[in-house]
Amino acid sequence: MFNVLSQKMMLLKMFFKLENTLTQESSLSITGTVQEDKRSKGGVEIIASNINVVHIADEYPIALKDHGVSFLMDNRHLWLRSKRQFAIMKIRQRTIKAIRDFFDDRGFVLIDSPMFTGNAVEGTTTLFETDYFNRSAYLTQSGQLYQEAAAMAFGKTYCFGPCFRAEKSKTRKHLTEFWMVEPEMAYCDINQNMDIIEEFISYIISDCLKHCSQELEILERDLSKLENISSPFPRISYDDAVKILKDKNRDFKYGSDFGAPDEEAIASEFDKPVMIHSWPHKTKAFYMKRDKTDKYALGVDVLAPEGYGEVVGGGQREDDHDLLVKRIKEHKLPVDAFKWYLDLRKYGSVPHSGFGLGLERTVSWICGIDHIRQTIPFPRTMGRLEP
């Protein structure tokens, strides 16, 4: 809409001598005849026969000059009107559609995981808590456990909705409220899981390239970086990844998780997303299945290229009831809270795997923008709850 308006406004100002009244962001309704005009950017012009001024705007606070980020974020409801933000929102919409189409077209059943959970099974440190009719409820950090129940019912399922993390983190990759898609598949091992992850990511990228060329042009995205994203992706073990860090003389303690600078150093070796598998089991959650050596968890993290960090985390789940109970105890978690989850290993347990892909990090990567806060309409961070 703003495209048409801004182009026409120039023309109309001249024809209707409204220069002094038609301020930026004023609203008009124009009646006229559309005709082809190759000189126009949109390829058409309107020959106006009538013009109705709907609203004369006050002086618009966002000027063409550079504003600080804080000012723009305070005025997010207006900042959204800019061409760049419009392009990002369109790419976000297309990414969401691509994600849903991918799973819908492949026989996955959509099973929305709940937002409220009754148990803080892995500690309350990064959970948002609310009073729920005189008891505590916690906002979901991941729908995975529910997807496992769903996959045991329907074979292949996914959820796609908001997740919440109360992390005291101010990095450019963290939001307190973000969207995540989490598929889960019965009869699927870690290798098949990685096959699906690379097919999925490739699909999203190629779909956006196909449908968002105008938007990517507005963002001046280097398309060659995206055109390169297709199966297969490099697959390296955690130990291989550590070797890369050592070769680069980075200070890294074996057995810890990779920090953002580590991720960047590893990812910079590849021009495609790199899948890191076979993690020392202590780095991963209790529900991860281990490999035959019992040393490594069958988890996989996927790092996007160009320093965009982890976009996918996933793995094969422990499907044996007794081993799972053992793990819960090893992690000092309350077995009682997992009663329903353990049921899934009692009534027809099968090998199964899944993963989660963070929407905003993915959109950030596709758009080639440096801060995740621009990839969601109304971002929520540690210091930001408005507008």
**Segment 147 to 206, residues that bind a copy of itself, using CB under 8 A:** 149-150, 152-155, 161-162, 164, 166, 168, 176-177, 179, 186-187
Name the 3-class secondary structure at 289: coil
Nearest to 191 by CA among 310, 299, 97: 299
User: Is 265 one of the binding residues for a copy of itself (CB under 8 A)?
Assistant: no
Complex with a copy of itself: residue 43 or 348, whichever CB lies closer: 348
The minimum distance between CB 14 and a copy of itself, in angstroms, equals: 20
Residues 24-43 that bind a copy of itself (CB under 8 A): 25-27, 29
Among 42, 232, 259, 387, the residue binding a copy of itself under the rule CB under 8 A is 387
Considering the complex, state which of residue 104 and residue 330 has its C-beta at the smaller distance from a copy of itself: 104
Pick 23 or 228: Cβ nearer a copy of itself: 23
Closest CB to a copy of itself among residues 50, 249: 50
Least Cβ distance, residue 303 to a copy of itself (angstroms): 25
Residues in 118-147 at the binding interface with a copy of itself, rule: CB under 8 A: 118-119, 128-133, 135, 137, 139, 146
Place of tokens 């890294």: 252
Alpha-carbon distance 45 to 248, whole Å? Answer: 58
Give the CA angle between residues 22, 28, 32 to the nearest 5°.
120
249 burial class (0-12, 13-18, 19+ CB within 10 angstroms)? Answer: exposed
Q: What's the gap between Cα 90 and its chain centre?
A: 14
Q: Which is nearer to a copy of itself, 97 or 225 (CB)?
A: 97
Binding of residue 66 to a copy of itself (CB under 8 A)? no
Token reading at 186: 């019965």
The total of other beta-carbon atoms located within 10 Å of residue 115's CB is 14
> Which of positions 89-108 make contact with a copy of itself (CB under 8 A)?
89-90, 92-93, 96-97, 100, 104
Coil, strand, or helix at residue 102? helix
Q: Which stretch binds a copy of itself (CB under 8 A): 253-261, 262-270, 327-335, 378-386?
A: 378-386
CA distances from 47 to 32, 50, 218 (A): 5, 9, 27
Cβ of residue 93: shortest distance to a copy of itself, in angstroms? Answer: 4
Task: Name which of 119 and 268 has its Cβ closer to a copy of itself.
Answer: 119
- In the sheet with 309-316, reading across from the earlier edge strand, the strands are 109-110, 156-164, 177-186, 352-358, 309-316, 296-304, 274-280, 235-237
Q: Give the nearer residue to a copy of itself in terms of CB position, either 245 or 342.
A: 342
Give the Cα separation of 185 and 23 in Å (integer).
56
The interface mask with a copy of itself, positions 214-233, x = CB under 8 A, is --------------------
- What's the closest the beta carbon of residue 359 comes to a copy of itself, in angstroms? 9
Q: What is the CA radius of gyration of the chain?
A: 25
When the beta carbons of 244 and 298 are compared against a copy of itself, the nearer one is 298
349 binds a copy of itself (CB under 8 A): yes
List 14, 69, 80, 335, residue binding a copy of itself (CB under 8 A): 80
| Interactions with a copy of itself, residue window 271-330 (CB under 8 A) | 319
Q: Which is nearer to a copy of itself, 75 or 268 (CB)?
A: 75
Instruction: In angstroms, give the least distance from the CB of 250 to a copy of itself.
Output: 32
Smallest distance, a copy of itself to C-beta of residue 233, A: 28
What lies within 8 Å, CB to CB, of 10 at 6+ separation is none
Cβ at position 377, least distance to a copy of itself in Å: 5
Q: Which residue has the tokens 């790092």?
A: 303
Q: 262 near 250, Cβ under 8 Å?
A: yes
Shortest distance in whole angstroms from residue 96 CB to a copy of itself: 6
| Of 358, 359, 364, nearest in space to 313 by CA | 358
CB atoms within 10 A of CB 311: 23
